[in-house]
A and B are shown apart, each in its own frame.
Chain A
Amino acid sequence: MAFSTTVSQRKHIKRKAPRGFLKRVFKRQKPHLRLETSGDLLVHLNCLLFVHRLAEETRMNAFENKCGVIKKEHVQAAAKKLKEYGKI
């Protein structure tokens, strides 16, 4: 075989949720509240979706500017747009 038949990701993205990190962040922000066990998984899901949306928007901005590289401005514009749509 000249090359592998499978397409491999260059960076192997971890699929694990950083549950400890999420719990810690929540505790730091709202120490008087408690987060349930499954709650932090849903928080992770929310984060994933947020990051997904942000990335999509950023990419669109970059394409519109015909840049091959994502720049700070693209990210900022994407974040603003999401805010006004109510990403919260």
Chain B
Amino acid sequence: MAEAMADSYNGDSEPTTRTLLRRVLDTADTRTPRRRRSARVGAQKALLETPSSRRLSSPTKMNVRRHSHRVRSIGRLAHVHTSGNVEEQTPRTLLKNILLTAPESSIMRPESVVKPVPTPQVVQSSRRDSSRGSLELQLPELEPPTTLALGLLAPGRRKQRLRLSVFQQGMDQGLPLSQEPRGNASASSLTSSLNLTFATPLQPQSVQRPGLARRPPTRRAVDVGAFLQDLRDTSLALASPDPGKPAELLAGKAKKVDAHAVSFPNNSSAISGEDGVEPLQDGVDEEAEERMEESLSVSEVMDTTGTQGSVRTEKSKRHREMSEAVEAKEPEGSSGDEDISGRRASPELASSTTEFLQARQPQFLEPALPPSTAVLSSEPLEPLPTRLPPRARTPGPRPRQDPHKTGLSHYVKLFSFYAKMPMEKKALEMVEKCLDKYFQHLCDDLEVFAAHAGRKTVKPEDLELLMRRQGLVNDQVSLHVLVERYLPLEYRQLLIPCAFSGNSVFPAQ
């Protein structure tokens, strides 16, 4: 015994936890702990002294910490021993199991998982890290029980996880609960450099508790086909602005369309051209192919820069979803556009299309037509000279109305909320009409007020005057009161100037 001890002492320059454990096991008597208490304590004290002497020789912070750690763990071991255990399975046996089952790991190098005898190549500073690293590295190799061990050994959460895992082990192995936490604590602290499994050599935890096993992340296979398709489309879109000529663009599209080889009669070149090229941009929707063919014929026939310009901007708007680079097209298209009407129309068209896109994405056919009709209908600014009547009346005002309607629906919902009564659909439509008229009147009034003040910008003063005229604001009720009553906090802060510290007012006057 003594020789073994001496050997172990002499042989190791820096004893590992494993060797320490061995020493403990060797020195500790198999007899009941209480009797040998003094002897054991004395032995352990000797143990403590020797490591301490060795430790002191190479002073590093890690070392000291480890040493104190070891001391504590040894102390705990002693405590365990002294506390007394009547049953067959003692900490000794536990530790023996550990020594048997745990794969030996060199302290220094995390890769070397299995080594026959502890050959402590000690790099003290990295010992802790490497030990933990070894733990982590061994995770995938070992069975799920190691996860349990890792959970046990995670330093921060040691106690909590110990309890749970220990409990589970107890359940499995029928070990007494009280012993295990302490035993685990000591063992884990001591054997942090080892891979500990308290499991008896052959019991994989996952088999019994499948839920505890770490599941590999399920990854969906990437749909390569769709991805390539999208790539092609975006590259097409990206490539198109480079030549910068609509003819080439359309020619490129034409080539694409040629595969389908259908020609449609072309009634209204401009509009159908716009319609056609728009869905072209999507490239994903098969339905749009019809339009594409129309656009093909249109492009060959039509030459108005206006249409092309608007087409360009429409294209750019369309593709906003697909790629950001498309946005570069917008200024390109708008700047390159010679036709004023086209330019004028395009922002509105674009806005309407984006609104529409935001509102309803799946409907590709209709948006094709609506922008054209939108151009037709919303032409208060400058009537386009060469506008042919829209092909289809039915989906006509939709794209213009839809974003408009979605905005109005907000107020319609408010109306139904204020009314607190069920409403007929016709009544709701009536409310929409009223709102439309209301907005028109509102804008006219604001224009008049701003012009009266000699301005071209409508300011909040104009709004206040409007509300005064309506009778909402009077000497008793001021605008600020109304703001506070009806608007949420964020808007209130923006509208009502408030003094802050440092002699500052927000919003600035």
Contacts and interface: CB of A to CB of B under 8 A. Distances in A.
| Majority SS at the chain A contact face | helix
Interface string A50-75: 11101110110010000011111011
Given A25-B404, A46-B467, A36 B458 contact: yes
Interface of B: 348, 351, 355, 378, 380-381, 403-404, 406-407, 410-411, 413-424, 426-427, 429-431, 434-435, 437-447, 450, 456-460, 462-464, 466-467, 469-472, 479, 482-483, 486-488, 491, 494-495, 507
Contacts of A74: 427
Contacts of B414: 13, 48, 51
Contacts of B417: 9, 11, 13
Contacts of B479: 42
Contacts of B351: 24
Contacts of A37: 494
Contacts of B486: 45, 48-49
Given A24-B407, A37-B494, A47-B411, 14 more contacts: A11-B417, A21-B403, A26-B443, A26-B458, A29-B444, A36-B458, A46-B467, A49-B472, A69-B424, A72-B430, A75-B427, A86-B470, A86-B471, A88-B445
B338 to A, nearest CB: 21
Interface hub of B381, B414, B469 (most chain A Cβ within 10 A): B414
A74 B438 CA distance: 17
| Majority SS at the chain B contact face | helix
Given A35-B458, A45-B486, A46-B466, A29 B440 contact: yes
A59 B419 contact: yes
Given A31-B381, A86-B469, A21 B410 contact: yes
A38 B429 CA distance: 30
A62 B458 CA distance: 38
28 contacts: A11-B416, A13-B414, A14-B410, A17-B491, A24-B403, A26-B458, A29-B444, A30-B443, A30-B446, A34-B457, A37-B494, A38-B460, A42-B460, A43-B442, A46-B470, A47-B438, A48-B486, A51-B411, A51-B415, A51-B418, A55-B418, A68-B422, A69-B424, A70-B427, A71-B427, A72-B429, A79-B430, A85-B471
Given A42-B495, A68-B422, A36 B430 contact: no
A85 B483 CA distance: 23
A72 B471 contact: no
B456 A32 contact: yes
Nearest to B417: A13
Contacts of A87: 438, 470
Contacts of A47: 411, 435, 438
B406 to A, nearest CB: 8
Contact of A70 (B381, B419, B456): B419
Given A45-B482, A54-B434, A72-B426, A39 B410 contact: no
Given A71-B427, A72-B424, A88-B445, A46 B413 contact: no
Given A34-B456, A72-B424, A75-B431, A43 B463 contact: yes
A4 B283 CA distance: 51
Nearest to B430: A75
Contacts of A51: 411, 414-415, 418, 435
Q: Which 9 A-B residue pairings sit nearest by Cβ, starting from the closest?
A: A21-B407, A55-B418, A42-B463, A29-B443, A34-B457, A72-B426, A75-B430, A70-B423, A55-B419
Contacts of B420: 59
A87 to B, nearest CB: 6
A18 B435 CA distance: 14
B98 to A, nearest CB: 51
A18 to B, nearest CB: 5
A75 B434 contact: yes
Given A41-B491, A54-B431, A72-B427, A11 B419 contact: no
B488 A15 contact: yes
B430 to A, nearest CB: 4
Contacts of A79: 430, 434, 437
A29 B423 CA distance: 30
Contacts of B406: 21
B418 A56 contact: yes
B451 to A, nearest CB: 9
A33 interface: yes
Given A41-B487, A69-B421, A70-B422, A54 B456 contact: no
B463 A39 contact: yes
A47 B424 CA distance: 22
A14 to B, nearest CB: 7
A28 B463 contact: no
Interface hub of B404, B420, B431, B435 (most chain A Cβ within 10 A): B431
A79 B438 CA distance: 10
Nearest to A19: B491
A11 B413 contact: yes
A29 B325 CA distance: 32
Interface hub of A29, A30, A51 (most chain B Cβ within 10 A): A51
Contacts of B463: 39, 42-43, 46
